[in-house]
Amino acid sequence: MSLSISSKKDPGFARPRLEANQLRRLGIDTGYEHVVYLDVDSPICRSEGFGPHSRLSLRVGEREILATLNLVHAGLLTANEAGLSESAWLSLRPAPGEKVVIAHPPSVDSMAHVRAKIFGKTLDAGAFEAIIRDIVAHRYSRIDMAAFITASSNHLTPDEVIALTRAMVQTGRQLHWNRPLVVDKHCIGGLAGNRTTPIVVAIAAELGLTMPKTSSRAITSPAGTADTMAVLTQVDLDEARMRHVVETCGGCIAWGGAMNLAPADDLLIHIERALDIDSAGQMVASVLSKKIAAGSTHVMIDIPVGPTAKVRDETEAQALAQLLVHVGAAFGLHVRVLVSDGTQPIGRGIGPALEAHDVLAVLRNEPHAPADLRKHALNIAAAVLELGGIASADRALQVATQCLQSGRAWQRFQAICNAQGGLRMPGRAAYQYMVSAPHSGQITCIDNRRLSRAAKLAGAPASPLAGLTLDVHLGDTVLAGQALFTLHAQSPGELAYAMEYVSRHRSIIGVEALS
Amino acid sequence: MSLSISSKKDPGFARPRLEANQLRRLGIDTGYEHVVYLDVDSPICRSEGFGPHSRLSLRVGEREILATLNLVHAGLLTANEAGLSESAWLSLRPAPGEKVVIAHPPSVDSMAHVRAKIFGKTLDAGAFEAIIRDIVAHRYSRIDMAAFITASSNHLTPDEVIALTRAMVQTGRQLHWNRPLVVDKHCIGGLAGNRTTPIVVAIAAELGLTMPKTSSRAITSPAGTADTMAVLTQVDLDEARMRHVVETCGGCIAWGGAMNLAPADDLLIHIERALDIDSAGQMVASVLSKKIAAGSTHVMIDIPVGPTAKVRDETEAQALAQLLVHVGAAFGLHVRVLVSDGTQPIGRGIGPALEAHDVLAVLRNEPHAPADLRKHALNIAAAVLELGGIASADRALQVATQCLQSGRAWQRFQAICNAQGGLRMPGRAAYQYMVSAPHSGQITCIDNRRLSRAAKLAGAPASPLAGLTLDVHLGDTVLAGQALFTLHAQSPGELAYAMEYVSRHRSIIGVEALS
């Protein structure tokens, strides 16, 4: 097929291009998905036939992104400008004088694997690698991501979970510790206040284990371990600083977000949470990819089971445990699972600083330290010690308890915080509101999910002092007017929000009158 | 649980509210999904803990929408303003003095059914009704829609397809014609230029059938029937006008978009196209819900089969046909399927006006009218006549042919166009470019999809005169330099785009040298 001009008029080859100074940084945070804004009457829209949500390729120099189009009708942009969302701007980094080429994007070939998965096919390692590579390169739109997550929720074979995990590890950084044994712990979330990590790290490190812990900030919960630790010390460590802390103290408790470990997980998790789906295969790949990337060799996984926890019954917990062990083994990772009681929150505080107070109280052996948090942390520490070969099964709990009681764990925790940038003591929120029992009776249920919601409405985790403190446990008897829980907020508006929510949901804590 | 104030300071109940004059219409078209823009430091974001892509409820008076949040970092909005996307603005219609309440949205309960479907459950009619009701009310985010489509792509039982179809019909308007027999036709797309509808309607109406045809505009193709008809007459008819046309002429060819027939389909189809998934169950629900809502009793469905058509083989076509007949029967709709040759485009033109020229040539019995379009339209018309009881199987084709040849179909078509608002003759595009055979030989393949893409790059359907004309068919022999196809554009830039594409894809039309 040859191209011989025979037009009535010579068309020229005027593919529209923009100069970098025609790009406008609109300052709109669209999350994962790059968005480009074009005037509906711009020459590019007209000539390319772009419509709302078209996918576009934008190229500046060697840098190329795929972006979703939002059309602008009036005022925001001229016909000769293109607006960029924050993520698009930061990825393209247009410099004065550079040319911007906007065009139809190359097709994202790995979506063919997603379609195959939708129609029930089993995918091989190459397919998962291609998919995850494209996701990490931001080539998937949000709906592409949703399709992948949905399609792989119904069933992944164990081999598929291994392939997905490997793809997630390989597309990010991997830490290597040059030690034969690196321990880690993880809790399959869903249980408010369950802040055992700082205590476990302090005990494990004090007893000679290497435990370079990276933790996440909250996504939908009132606090992540990194949020709580950020109240006490610096958690935003670069790799050199983290290595220094681990060299000198045997352990650290850092924010993993800056490390680029299994970055696909951070992207997928937002869509999973929005859709509120969290299948076993995806959960296992998510948890283990982070641990493998962090260089762990032995990991202890806590699965709290309860009607309002993430895992709701023992059968589900056992299936999950089996998959975790099987997939871990494929990477030479020793996984041990502890199935624990997830029927109620652990500790008193829910929210970054309020949980930090609990952690400090346990570490300092204070008389009013929450006994349930202390006990749960010691159980996990014991399992970690056993896994790390420090103590036998029958002695591990005693060794862990002794380490805590003697004050050695507290000393080690202070050393870690000092190495990370200094230990700060958290304050208390200015606005508090006590919710009291309407009548005397026994506590028969505590709704984890709604308590978390109330703590978030009170401002956690963005307001670090905000959240709530729980004054009762299941089975306690209370008198009318006695405190059930107390909301904490840093502003009157936030307190009002949380109060409004609590007043609408009176069954957050159930009090059954005694007959 | 009682609420007794015991805070250190009285918090008041200062839930942030906005006045309508703090809402800004940003003019951003975000498609189906309502978007609200808030400054990252606005009191609402801080106190509610909203992050990028949080879902929000916005209420003004009795009007409430769910919207997705985009956070704005600088400049676009003040901390006391909220920006609205076009769809959000048009749904809320805030009037001066009205209060705007922004809050966490009620949970979208029907997503529980979507999650059940993701995990392989079969859904009942109530579940589909709840899902489709929420989709039509714009309560689903784009990722929620993607999850629903993905989850129902792998398998829907026939009963599920019936339930989905019914839900799609019930959530929109339904037309009733008060006649025992109302015929319709539909083509399972994917074949460029296949513009038989205007010819079929003219013949059917002329021979006494009632055929109130509603057609769509192009979504991803270079032209829909409504785009082609819009070149010739007015298609944006309200119901009264449409009824008048059908009363006086027996048929019409109107744009269905204004009618609100099965509106869920219009919403779902955008996500399906973006994901490039089109499962049998969803296709059947999509096609039949529109026909049932339009009040048809007998429908003739053309399924072109070919390697670059939507349906690629005979087995797939038969399975689809069976499902169409089965689901139609559940609604008392008589469905007849014609499986046709989809190996190459039909007619010469691809693009609104170029296809209109073909239609006119056939209707006016012009000597150079495309024979393939004429033949295919007559076959479909014959099937419609037989389905409508006008002619027996052995005579239907003859009756249809006679109606066309005699000029009666052309007369009827003019009458319909005049009733719709007058018949206009289409023009020709100013810029043309002929693509010629590089060497002598035989035409061995024609790539439908890439031809459509070239026509779109040339400007179709937004530029109604744009597209391309095809000069050869499969099996033709051509001499070097002889025309294969000609691009048509209304601007030099658009022609250049299409030329660039064509030069990069030399196998759009394969010419095999004769030995």
Q: Which DSSP string do the residues of A134-152 spell out, in sequence order?
A: HHHTT-S-HHHHHHHHHHT
Give just the sign of the alpha carbon dihedral B501, B505, B506, B508.
negative
- The residue from B39, B278, B358, B471 that is catalytic is B278
Q: What is the pLDDT of residues B202-255, one digit of tens each?
A: 999 999 999 999 988 887 788 999 999 999 999 999 999 999 999 999 999 999
CA atoms within 13 A on the CB side of A150: 31
How many domains is chain A built from?
4
Mean pLDDT, chain B, whole residue set: 90
Q: How far is CA A91 from CA A32, A269, B486, in A?
A: 12, 21, 40
A21 vs A339, which has greater pLDDT?
A339
Q: How much is the average pLDDT of B431-441?
A: 94
Give the pair of three-digit tokens for residue A79.
């016909």
Q: What is the pLDDT of residues B341-386, one digit of tens each?
A: 988 889 999 999 999 999 999 999 999 999 999 999 999 999 999 9
Helix residue ranges, H only, B294-370: 314-330, 352-363
The helix (H) or strand (E) run that includes residue B374 is helix B371-387
Residues B96 and B118 occupy one common structural domain: no
Residues A131 and A252 occupy one common structural domain: no
Residue among A371, A389, A363 at smallest CA distance from A200: A363
Give just the sign of the alpha carbon dihedral B136, B142, B143, B145.
positive
Distance between CA atoms of residues A447 and A506, nearest Å: 11
Q: Do A29 and B508 touch (CB under 8 A)?
A: no
Pairing mode, if any, of strands A35-39 and A82-84?
Answer: antiparallel
Residues A455 and A407 occupy one common structural domain: no
pLDDT at residue A5 above 90? Answer: no
pLDDT at site A49: 67
Amino acid at B404: L
Q: How much is the average pLDDT of B296-312?
A: 91
Give the pair of three-digit tokens for residue B438.
């590089």
Task: Decide: helix, strand or coil at residue B458.
Answer: coil
Q: How many CB pairs under 8 A join A and B?
A: 289
Confidence of residue B19 (pLDDT cuts 50, 70, 90): confident
pLDDT at site A102: 87
The answer as to whether B326 is a domain residue is yes
The answer as to whether A170 is a domain residue is no
A403 vs A505, which has greater pLDDT?
A403
Give just the sign of the alpha carbon dihedral B476, B479, B483, B485.
positive
User: A148 lies in which domain range?
Assistant: 111-155
Q: What is the pLDDT of residues A204-263, one digit of tens each?
A: 999 999 999 998 888 778 899 999 999 999 999 999 999 999 999 999 999 988 788 999
Q: Do B4 and A271 touch (CB under 8 A)?
A: no
Q: How much is the average pLDDT of B284-292?
A: 95
The answer as to whether A36 is a domain residue is yes
Q: What is the pLDDT of residues A469-510, one digit of tens each?
A: 999 999 999 999 999 999 999 988 889 888 988 998 888 999
**How crowded is residue B32: how many other Cβ atoms within 10 Å of its Cβ?**
18
Residues with Cβ < 8 Å from A215, sequence gap 6 or more?
Answer: A197, A224, A225, A226, A229, A235, A253, A254, A255, A256
Q: Do B145 and A143 touch (CB under 8 A)?
A: yes
pLDDT at site A13: 41
Q: Do A143 and B142 touch (CB under 8 A)?
A: yes
Task: Report the CATH number at residue A484.
Answer: 3.90.1170.30
Name the closest residue on chain A to residue B15, using Cα atoms.
A493
Mean pLDDT, chain A, whole residue set: 90
CB-CB neighbors (< 8 A) of B8 in chain A: 430-432
β-pair partners for A488: A432, A467
Q: Do B73 and A29 touch (CB under 8 A)?
A: yes
- The full 3-state SS of A210-275, as one line of letters, equals CEEEEECCCCCCCCCHHHHHHHHCCCCCCHHHHHHHHHHHCEEEEEHHHHCECHHHHHHHHHHHHH
Tokens 């109604």 -> residue: B464
pLDDT at residue B75 above 70? Answer: yes
Which range, of A232-246, A439-453, B323-337, B392-406, averages the lowest pLDDT? A439-453
Percent residues over pLDDT 70 in chain A:
96
Task: Decide: helix, strand or coil at residue A513.
Answer: coil
Name the closest residue on chain B to residue A508, using Cα atoms.
B1
pLDDT at site B31: 81
Most confident range (mean pLDDT) of A60-74, B92-106, B281-295 is B281-295
Q: How much is the average pLDDT of B23-47?
A: 85
What backbone torsions phi and psi does residue A496 show, to the nearest 5 degrees? -60, -45
The answer as to whether B197 is a domain residue is yes
The helix (H) or strand (E) run that includes residue A127 is helix A125-136
Instruction: Examine the fold and report which residue of B371, B388, B420 is the final residue of a domain before the chain moves on.
Output: B420
Residues A234 and A359 occupy one common structural domain: yes
pLDDT at site A7: 36
Residues A416 and A501 occupy one common structural domain: no
Name the closest residue on chain B to residue A454, using Cα atoms.
B48
The answer as to whether A56 is a domain residue is yes
Between B73, B143, B433, which is nearest A146 by CB?
A: B143
Burial class (CB in 10 A: 0-12, 13-18, 19+), A180: exposed
Q: Chain A closest CA to B427's CA: distance in Å?
A: 15
Burial class (CB in 10 A: 0-12, 13-18, 19+), A454: buried
Distance between CA atoms of residues A202 and A360, nearest Å: 12
CB-CB neighbors (< 8 A) of B497 in chain A: 15, 47-48
Distance between CA atoms of residues B172 and B310, nearest Å: 27
Amino acid at B78: T
Distance between CA atoms of residues A50 and A43, nearest Å: 10
> Does residue B182 contact residue B296 with C-beta atoms inside 8 Å?
yes
The answer as to whether A11 is a domain residue is no
pLDDT at site A79: 83
Distance between CA atoms of residues B354 and B428, nearest Å: 8
Q: What is the pLDDT of residues B489-515, one digit of tens each?
A: 998 888 988 898 899 888 899 999 987
Say yes or no: B118 contacts chain A, CB-CB below 8 A: yes
Residue among B47, B41, B30 at smallest CA distance from B104: B47
Residues B200 and B230 occupy one common structural domain: yes
Give the helix, strand, coil percentages of chain B, each rounded to 5: 40, 20, 40
* ipTM for the whole complex: 0.85
Q: In the annotation, is B278 catalytic?
A: yes
Task: Decide: helix, strand or coil at residue B298.
Answer: strand
pLDDT at site B2: 35
Give the pair of three-digit tokens for residue B355.
């296809």
Q: How much is the average pLDDT of A433-459?
A: 91
CB-CB neighbors (< 8 A) of B76 in chain A: 26-28
CB-CB neighbors (< 8 A) of A431 in chain B: 7-9, 11
Residues B64 and B97 occupy one common structural domain: yes
pLDDT at site B14: 45
> Does residue A204 contact residue A415 with C-beta atoms inside 8 Å?
no
Between A2, A430, A509, which is nearest B1 by CB?
A: A509
CA-based end-to-end distance of chain A? 92
B342 vs B121, which has greater pLDDT?
B121
Q: Chain A closest CA to B400's CA: distance in Å?
A: 38
pLDDT at site A295: 96
pLDDT at site A292: 97
pLDDT at residue A6 above 70? Answer: no
Residue among B354, B358, B365, B348 at smallest CA distance from B411: B365
Amino acid at B483: A
CB-CB neighbors (< 8 A) of B7 in chain A: 431-434, 495
Residues B99 and B117 occupy one common structural domain: no
pLDDT at residue B88 above 70? Answer: yes
pLDDT at site B190: 63
pLDDT at site A16: 56
Residues A280 and A363 occupy one common structural domain: yes
Instruction: Examine the fold and report which residue of B103, B138, B170 is the final residue of a domain before the chain moves on.
Output: B103
Distance between CA atoms of residues B157 and B160, nearest Å: 5
pLDDT at site A449: 82
- The residues in A 435-454 lying below 8 A from B, measured between CB atoms, are 435-438
> Does residue B430 contact residue B463 with C-beta atoms inside 8 Å?
no
Give just the sign of the alpha carbon dihedral B232, B237, B242, B248.
negative
Q: Chain A closest CA to B127's CA: distance in Å?
A: 17
Between A47, A48, A462, which is nearest B49 by CB?
A: A462
Q: What is the pLDDT of residues A326-381, one digit of tens each?
A: 999 999 999 999 999 988 889 999 999 999 999 999 999 999 999 999 999 999 99
DSSP A122: P
Q: Do A28 and B459 touch (CB under 8 A)?
A: no
Q: What is the pLDDT of residues B166-210, one digit of tens each?
A: 999 999 999 999 999 999 999 987 677 789 999 999 999 999 999
Residues B388 and B247 occupy one common structural domain: yes
Residues A115 and A207 occupy one common structural domain: no
DSSP notation for A369-388: S-HHHHHHHHHHHHHHHHHT
Give the pair of three-digit tokens for residue B96.
């001066």
Say yes or no: B218 contacts chain A, CB-CB below 8 A: no
Q: Do B492 and A31 touch (CB under 8 A)?
A: no
Residues B346 and B457 occupy one common structural domain: no
Distance between CA atoms of residues A64 and B296, nearest Å: 49
Q: How far is CA B367 from CA B194, B198, B345, B362, in A?
A: 19, 19, 20, 9
CA A79 to chain CA centroid, Å, is: 40
Q: How much is the average pLDDT of B148-173?
A: 95
CA torsion B120→B126→B128→B132, rounded to 10°? Answer: -150
Say yes or no: A415 contacts chain B, CB-CB below 8 A: no
pLDDT at site B47: 64
CB-CB neighbors (< 8 A) of A8 in chain B: 430-432
- The residues in B 348-387 lying below 8 A from A, measured between CB atoms, are none
The answer as to whether B301 is a domain residue is yes
Instruction: Examine the fold and report which residue of A359, A387, A420 is the final residue of a domain before the chain moves on.
Output: A420
β-pair partners for B445: B510
What burial letters (b/e) apply to A129-144, b meaning 16+ CB within 10 Å?
Answer: bbbbebbbebbbbbbb
Name the closest residue on chain A to residue B456, using Cα atoms.
A49
The answer as to whether B279 is a domain residue is yes
